[in-house]
Every structure is written in structure tokens, then in C-alpha cells.
Amino acid sequence: MDVLKQLQSELAAFAIERDWDQFHSPKNLVMALSGEVGELTELFQWLTAEQSERAVLTDETVKAVEEEMADVLLYLLRLGDRLHIDVAAAAQAKIKLNAEKYPVDKSKGNAVKYSRREK
């Protein structure tokens, strides 16, 4: 079993043991996911780009970032489970799509979407 499916299975068991399935509607999971993204965002709020680099973050901040990233991933996986979406397959498909959308020859070194520059 791959690691994401294993995590989904552990999350499902965690919810069932606590009778929390009733609270895990896709709507509630999206709200919770958004809240966790907010918690992750808060850790970087007001930092300069340079201050957000690993070399200058405190170990305590990196630990907090790690925990919030885990919260984000877990809610995303739980949402995928409830909607029967294979999150890993969806991510792989999206990477493929992005590679087609942003060909290297038109995108290298430029953060602006090439189709917008050509308009």
C-alpha cells in the first residue's frame, strides 16, 4: 500500500474510533483545510522573502511549519477519501498538465504565464 493510501486508512480509522465521520462532510473538511492553510500562512506573515528562507528560520518555526504542513496534507487526504479522489493520481495528472501548459522553451526563468505575455 502506498504511503498516501496508508495515511488515508489511518485517518479513516481515527475518525471512526471517535465517531467523527459524521463531522467529516466534504464541506467541513474543506473549511478545516482552509483553516490549516491559514495557520501555515500565519507563520510566514510579515516576513520578508529572505526571512522566510530555511537558513534564517528558527528551529522552532520550522517545527511549527512541519506540523501545519502535516495538518494540510491530512485534511487534503481525508477530503480525497470522502470524495473517492485518488489525490496522488490527481497530482501526477496535474504535473503533466502543467508541463504542457508551461513548456520549458516558453517558461524558463519567467514566472508570468506565457499565454498572458503573448496577448
Q: Which residues bind Mg ion (CB under 5 A)?
A: 36, 39, 68, 71
Alpha helices in the chain (DSSP H): 3-17, 26-44, 59-83, 87-101, 104-107, 114-117
CB of 48 to Mg ion, least distance (A): 24
CB of 45 to Mg ion, least distance (A): 15
CB of 60 to Mg ion, least distance (A): 15
Cell numbers 467541513 correspond to 28
**Residue nearer to Mg ion on the CB measure, 21 or 42:** 42
Under 8 Å between Cβ of 16 and 8: no
* Residue whose CB is nearest to Mg ion in the complex, by number: 71
Q: Quick count: other Cβ atoms within 10 Å of Cβ 4?
A: 18
**Residue nearer to Mg ion on the CB measure, 36 or 81:** 36
**Residue nearer to Mg ion on the CB measure, 40 or 102:** 40
- Pull the grid cell for residue 110: 519567467
**Residue nearer to Mg ion on the CB measure, 65 or 107:** 65
CB of 41 to Mg ion, least distance (A): 11
Give the C-alpha separation, 76 to 105, whole Å.
Answer: 33
